[in-house]
Amino acid sequence: MDNLHTEINRRPYIRRTEKELSEEAVAMWKKHLERDDSRIVDLFSGQLRSSLHCSVCSHYSNTFDVFCDLSLPIPKRSSAGEVSLRECLDLFSQEEKLDKENSPMCERCNRRTECTKRLSIQRFPQVIVIHLNRFTTARWSISKSTVYVSFPLTNLDLGHYGPADCGPVLYDLYAICNHAGTVNMGHYTACCSDDDGWCFYNDSSVTPVSENQLQTNQAYVLFYQRSNSAATVRK
Ligand SMILES: [Zn+2]
């Protein structure tokens, strides 16, 4: 009956406009601030949009979730080459096919259907924390990827992953958290920039470091600060 109804439904499906969706996102954000409002939210919180497209009835549904970091997959390479941060971002925002078992309920079909899912950034935070997901869990084990991921120190443009008309959204790197070692035994260090340049923090030792030493295959979490238009902190 569900299938028959879907096929002969008299109500046409109307896709909501970008303007309606962005109004909904703003309303959701305001609701979030009613419960959670701190300096941390001002600086680090953004909004992620998940768009689902049902393959049966073509219904689009959108959900908005607050995020404090982006966890990016690292593309798998057959040869041990390097990948770029952009390739990780592309993989993160790439349309993904979900089969029935893994998809949420379609609002219109009222059942689980095959669908496609796409993630994008609806609201950009002042500071974006990018987690390079080096650890992958297989059935019985966890493994660590030590692939070299290149990333820009300045002018990382995330506009491509935002709303259609958002234009360039630029970020500059100000800190890196590194993970050395293996799954079982690791050690964290950090690189942070201040007015005098970059420093390397390793337990109790702090040493100056040059820009060309920042990119290593141990880079694990990247901290980028918005460099253009700060007007979006609280709207
Ligand atoms: Zn559907």
> What pLDDT shows up at residue 110?
84
Mean pLDDT of the 35-58 span = 94
Q: How many angstroms is it from 109 CA to the middle of ligand 1?
A: 4
> What pLDDT shows up at residue 76?
84
3-state secondary structure labels for all residues of the chain: CHHHHHHHCCCCCCCCCHHHHHHHHHHHHHHHHHHCCCHHHHHHCEEEEEEEEECCCCCEEEEEEEECCEEECCCCCCCCCEEEHHHHHHHHHCCEEECHHHCCECCCCCCECCEEEEEEEEECCCEEEEEECCEEECCCCEEECCCEEECCCCCEECHHHCCCCCCCCEEEEEEEEEEEECCCCEEEEEEEEECCEEEEEECCEEEEECHHHCCCCCEEEEEEEECCCCCCCCC
What domains, with CATH codes, occur in the chain?
2-226 (3.90.70.10)
Q: How many angstroms is it from 136 CA to the middle of ligand 1?
A: 32
> What pLDDT shows up at residue 235?
37
Q: How many angstroms is it from 29 CA to the middle of ligand 1?
A: 27
Q: How many angstroms is it from 10 CA to the middle of ligand 1?
A: 15
Mean pLDDT of the 43-59 span = 93
Proportion of the chain above pLDDT 70, given as a percent: 95
Q: How many angstroms is it from 96 CA to the middle of ligand 1?
A: 16
Top pLDDT among 183 and 190 is at 190
Q: How many angstroms is it from 18 CA to the middle of ligand 1?
A: 20
Q: How many angstroms is it from 61 CA to the middle of ligand 1?
A: 10
102-116 pLDDT, tens digit per residue, is: 898 888 888 899 999
Q: How many angstroms is it from 28 CA to the middle of ligand 1?
A: 24
Average pLDDT of the residues of the chain: 91
186-221 pLDDT, tens digit per residue, is: 999 999 999 899 999 999 999 999 999 999 999 999
Q: How many angstroms is it from 55 CA to the middle of ligand 1?
A: 7
Residue 69 above 90 pLDDT? yes
